[in-house]
Amino acid sequence: MDPEPNILSSALTPLPSSGPIVATNPIKSEFACSEDQTSSSVEGYLDSAATTPVPNVIADEVARVLREGFGNPGRGGHTRAISAAARIEEARRAVAGLLGNVDFNEVVFTRNATAGIDLVRRCWAEPMLGAGSAIVTTRLEHHSNILPWMQIAERSEVELRIAGIDSRGDLDLDHLRKLLVEGGVGLVAVTAVSNVHGGTVDLEAVVSLAAEHGARVLVDASQCMAHRPLLPRKLGCDFLVFSGHKMYAPPGVGVLWASSQAMQEMRSGPVGGGSVDWNDEEPSWREGPELFEPGTPSSDSIAGLAAAIEWRRRMSEVDPGLQDREHSLLRRAEAIVEETPELSIAGTPSRRTGCLAFSTGTIDPNEFAAFLDAEGIMVRAGHLCASPLVRTFDPRGLVRISIGCFNDEKDLDRFEDAVQVACSILA
């Protein structure tokens, strides 16, 4: 196995306060929607926190797999089936490399991060936690990292505890410590980056606190993987999930990484073809990731994820200033909102990654977003699948702007103009 690199703690380390912004981002050509590459499908798209666009080269690879790689992996001895199975394992190794050269047998393919979290609920939390146990999650979470734990608490004697936030909107580590000290905590489920205000959680502190009290840690890395991948083994967490569609892959594929020890503790969940072998009349459950991947996999989406990992690596090499540019564009968006009297920033987290949200004052947030859409700017509005956090700032909802690797100053110019027009007409 290749040597493991240092943890990519840039997800936990503030980037420089300023950096270069280019007026024309060459990465936009990767999303060209005309043969002469004079127009791009991502102009004005500021909603990558919801889903990222798929670069042309990745869409082409998915189409190629659908045309030529249609064998059913692991379900046949002919050439196409064998080739399809090899493609799945190549993708598994690509994900393992992305996560810091972890053991590829620790990588489970799912539909998305939501399915990965629910797999942990069903296959680990429900069988492992009983009366007197507790699960801790936080007010920063997407619904997908709250509802499964609420469901366990409703159906069993497991207690659910919610760690709060401080005045800036950051995770309140003192409150988390207090909840752990109360005892019985078997699992801490926490996001790496808020999908609302982009606040970046100090995961090293969370993992350290959890370890002191013997709790497993699940990290929802959905909002950070497109910007700065996390290395779970170095971080010391037990489970990590993310979705392909938030890192330039097609929808329909996600990842659950589970440490070898945690995976050994997991029980079978969804069952079906591929998760079992038959010995006489009795099933023999497979071990490793296949136990948790019943049924025919989404080979095209999985191939797309592998292609997206390679594409993102290549873009970072071609454009070494990519991360700084994303950060600078986000800081400019923050300045635009702060300088607009009708709007107010939701939270001032100590470190922001990828997105920010704002209240629209007397203007309905959905109406505000619809107006921006008419001006060619696409953002998200509402409760952002994170109602507990959003309602802390504005019960009606917020508007969120998020940055992708393809955005440039032109997108922010258009955003600024659209915001000013919207406020002048709607306020």
Residue whose structure tokens are 């100053």: 409
Residues designated as active site: 385
Q: How many residues does the chain have?
A: 427
Q: Which pLDDT tens digit goes with each residue over 250-268?
A: 999 999 999 999 999 998 7
358 and 296 in a common domain = no
Do residue 90 and residue 161 come from a single domain? yes
Nearest to 106 by CA among 1, 226, 211: 1
- C-alpha closest to that of 69 among 90, 52, 55, 51: 90
Q: Quick one: 211 and 66 in the same domain?
A: yes
- The predicted structure's pLDDT at residue 5: 34
Residue 291: CATH number of its domain: 3.40.640.10
Residue 35 located in a structural domain? yes
- Ranges of residues in the chain with a pLDDT under 50 are 1-23
pLDDT of residue 11: 31
Residue 273: predicted pLDDT? 60
The answer to whether residue 18 sits within a structural domain is: no
What is the pLDDT at residue 120? 98
Is residue 131 domain-shared with residue 106, that is, in the same domain?
yes
Whether residue 207 is found in the same domain as residue 89: yes
Do 150 and 224 belong together in one domain?
Answer: yes
Measure the CA angle with vertex 139, ends 134 and 142; round to 5°. Answer: 100
Q: Provide the pLDDT for residue 14.
A: 34
* Residues 407 and 299 occupy one common structural domain: no
Whole-model pTM: value is: 0.91
| Closest of 397, 391, 12, 9 to residue 199, by C-alpha | 12
Predicted pLDDT of residue 277: 65
- Model confidence over 342-397: pLDDT tens digits? 999 999 999 999 999 999 999 999 999 999 999 999 999 999 999 999 999 999 99
Range of the domain at 38: 29-55+320-426
Given this model, what pLDDT does residue 22 score?
Answer: 45
**Number of domain units in the chain:** 2
> So what's the pLDDT on residue 301?
96
How confident is the model at residue 270, as a pLDDT?
72
The predicted pLDDT at position 12 comes to: 33
Q: What is the dihedral of CA 372, 378, 382, 383, to 10 degrees?
A: -150
What whole-number distance in Å separates Cα of residue 216 and Cα of residue 291?
21
Which pLDDT value is given to residue 25? 84
Tell me: do 212 and 188 sit in the same domain: yes
Q: Given this model, what pLDDT does residue 35 score?
A: 59
